[in-house]
């Protein structure tokens, strides 16, 4: 099983994240991408040599896949608005419910594997950091995509001691591409609608 200290730290980190985003905070790409990526890599490294059988590997991959799906759904449920010129994110009741479902699924998988094969349960139970990491990363990617596509400015990280927020040229370029494609799609859709509206009138003019 995961060490008690590790479990407490992970629970505290998730709780801190949930409280901050239930209150609402500016979207920070560094926080949404780098931190969960590091969490995932560290979690993967702790599993080295722990997953020894096909059954434990299947349970591990299945748990990670479910965490990613729930992370995507959480990202889609987050409320995004504009505040002080930048994207502002806030968890909804649905987001919190999906977090609870994620934890329940993780605990349920561990109990199921423990009943199915107690010898393999230890390796999968140590995957808590990995599964949470990939889920949070999936959530962050969806939130960033939605914010950029909506035209909101997304900072890379907040400045310290009154310093201005740091931006990312890569994110700015992605945003220009997304908003440009959206504008082209809207223009094309409006053009198609206008053509459909004028076609009956043209037919009526024919004797």
pLDDT in tens, 79-101: 999 998 889 999 999 999 999 99
Mean pLDDT of 155-169: 81
* Percentages (nearest 5) of helix, strand, coil residues in the chain: 75, 10, 20
Buried residues in 98-124 as b, exposed as e (16+ CB within 10 A): bbeebeebbeebbeebbeeeeebbbbb
Residue 50: per-residue pLDDT: 67
Whether 85 contacts 92, CB under 8 Å: no
> How crowded is residue 94: how many other Cβ atoms within 10 Å of its Cβ?
14
Q: Is the pLDDT of residue 187 over 90?
A: no
**Residue 205 pLDDT level (bands cut at 50, 70, 90):** very low
Mean pLDDT of 141-164: 87
Sequence-ordered list of residues with C-beta below 8 angstroms from that of 49, at least 6 positions apart, any chain: none
Task: Using alpha carbons, select from 68, 52, 166, 158 the residue that is nearest to residue 113.
Answer: 52
Distance of alpha carbon 62 from alpha carbon 57, whole angstroms: 8
Residue spans of the domains in the chain: they are: 4-167, 169-207
> What is the percentage of the chain residues whose pLDDT exceeds 90?
33
């Amino acid at each position: 099983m995961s060490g008690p200290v590790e479990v407490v730290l992970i629970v505290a980190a998730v709780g801190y994240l949930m409280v901050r985003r239930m209150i609402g905070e500016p979207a920070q790409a560094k926080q949404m991408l780098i931190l969960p990526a590091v969490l995932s890599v560290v979690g993967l490294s702790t599993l080295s040599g722990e997953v020894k059988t096909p059954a434990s590997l299947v349970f591990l991959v299945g748990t990670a896949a479910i965490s990613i799906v729930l992370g995507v759904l959480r990202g889609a449920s987050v409320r995004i608005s504009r505040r002080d010129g930048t994207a502002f994110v806030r968890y909804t009741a649905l987001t919190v419910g999906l977090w609870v479902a994620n934890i329940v699924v993780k605990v349920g998988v561990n109990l199921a594997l423990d009943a199915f094969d107690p010898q393999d349960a230890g390796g999968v139970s140590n995957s808590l950091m990995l599964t949470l990491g990939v889920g949070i990363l999936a959530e962050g990617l969806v939130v960033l995509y939605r914010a950029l596509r909506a035209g909101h400015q997304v900072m890379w990280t907040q400045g310290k001691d009154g310093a201005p927020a740091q931006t990312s040229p890569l994110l700015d370029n992605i945003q220009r591409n997304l908003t440009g494609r959206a504008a082209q799609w809207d223009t094309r859709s409006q053009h198609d609608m206008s053509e459909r509206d004028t076609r009956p009138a043209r037919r009526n003019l024919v004797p």
